[in-house]
Chain A
Amino acid sequence: NAGVTQTPKFRILKIGQSMTLQCAQDMNHNYMYWYRQDPGMGLKLIYYSVGAGITDKGEVPNGYNVSRSTTEDFPLRLELAAPSQTSVYFCASSDPTDSAGGYTFGSGTRLTVV
């Protein structure tokens, strides 16, 4: 049981480039989330999804896009990378049938924009 898998683990982008951060879970969780982690700022929610075909903005969605075509996958896309997007990105999932449930996190993607 792999849980939540994120790829790549590390990436360096040049300003203006685009990329997709991949996230996949094998727990059949309908709820999935993308957070970014910046020093001293904790985790900020970028986007979340409550099921295939349904996504919604979190606190800091600007500069990002998401899609959810299947229950398993929830990719995060950066269209025009900016230095402000240098961060560690975490994907997480949760089971909506467990109202007291927490999250299962992936191991993160460390992104540097130069």
Chain B
Amino acid sequence: AQSVAQPEDQVNVAEGNPLTVKCTYSVSGNPYLFWYVQYPNRGLQFLLKYITGDNLVKGSYGFEAEFNKSQTSFHLKKPSALVSDSALYFCAVRRRGILTGGGNKLTFGTGTQLKVEL
């Protein structure tokens, strides 16, 4: 079984300040980890993913995420938040490798609403 926890329903940050959106996961074996962003009335858009190697992953729009195996975490970060970053963010996990018949299913967290204010 695999699961994702996003402990914060909402994160508020002032524009220009750094932001962190937290994610912890549980999966048997090694993980593939993903962050997606959803703007109002839109589908989910891919931000970044961790496959292997460097624990710091850089993605779109200046976002990055840090993989921490010992803490089973994959927190999303950005050094300087913008009002336009306000959106719903989802973390997702899948066990590494090709699972025959498994369909490469992703398990998503419940989402964190990020609000960036002036």
Contact = CB atoms under 8 A, between A and B. Distances in A.
Contact of B34 (A45, A49, A102): A102
Given A90-B44, A105-B45, A43 B103 contact: no
Contact of A105 (B44, B109, B111): B44
Given A58-B105, A90-B43, A96-B104, A41 B110 contact: yes
Interface of A: 4, 31, 33, 35, 40-43, 45, 48-50, 56, 58, 90, 92, 94, 96, 99-108
Contact of A102 (B6, B46, B98, B111): B46
B106 interface: yes
A107 B98 CA distance: 27
A42 B111 contact: yes
A45 B49 contact: no
Contacts of B36: 102, 105
A3 to B, nearest CB: 9
Contacts of A105: 36, 43-45
Secondary structure class of chain A's binding surface, majority of residues:
strand
Contact of B103 (A33, A35, A101): A33
Closest CB pairs A-B (n = 4): A42-B110, A105-B43, A43-B108, A100-B51
A108 B43 contact: yes
